[in-house]
Amino acid sequence: MIVQLFFSFIKVGLFSVGGGYAAIPLIRNQIVDVHGLMSLEEFTDLITIAEMTPGPISINSATFVGTRLAGIPGAVLCTLGCILPSFFICLALAYFYYKYRQLGGVQKVLSALRPAVVALIASAGLSILLLGIFGDAGVAPENLRVVECVLFAGALYALRKYKLNAIQIIFGTGAAGTLVYALL
């Protein structure tokens, strides 16, 4: 079964273009539909956990499925399967990128991609901000969480004014927010 899991996650790694959310249906297909290793309910829980804990969603799912079904060796194999296609494909792309990126034509194409990437990062930032200040209940005035709004504004101010690093900011807001909610 472990070998089967390994190959399942190689498929997931190979066919999920566009990040974690693209991988979820593929993992579901392999784990729930094709091999019947988990119930749909278990799988939904898994996705919730993969989303709320740190780390890439597909790596989280791979580790969770692997641990649940075959312990630590399962976790290692599933993760390995998930990253193996990335490893070879991106290594090749990196090689070509660094070989040809100085060419004028390539530069022009890349310059047109950069604004799109900035926009995509901004869009991701917006959705996590909405999740942060409205919670999982959805965007509506009555769901607005004042504590998180203050934390966001404070964190942004601290970042621009004192040049703190990302990890300090994230764990700082985590600690401050938990403390406030504990006291409330």
Q: State which of residues 36, 41, 102, 112 lies at the interface with other proteins (CB under 8 A).
A: 112
Residue 99 touches other proteins, criterion: CB under 8 A: no
Task: Map the footprint of other proteins across residues 113-142, applying CB under 8 A.
Answer: 113-129, 131-133, 135
Q: What is the C-alpha separation between 10 and 6, in angstroms, rounded?
A: 6
Which residues make Cβ contacts (< 8 Å) with residue 11, sequence separation at least 6? 26, 30
Q: How far is the CB of 2 from other proteins (least distance, A)?
A: 15
Q: How far is the CB of 180 from other proteins (least distance, A)?
A: 8
CA–CA distances in Å: residue 1 to residues 73, 93, 103: 12, 33, 48
Residue 49 touches other proteins, criterion: CB under 8 A: yes
Which residues make Cβ contacts (< 8 Å) with residue 84, sequence separation at least 6? 10, 13
Name the residue nearer to other proteins (CB basis): 3 or 182: 182
Which residues make Cβ contacts (< 8 Å) with residue 103, sequence separation at least 6? none
Q: How far is the CB of 183 from other proteins (least distance, A)?
A: 12
Q: How far is the CB of 28 from other proteins (least distance, A)?
A: 16
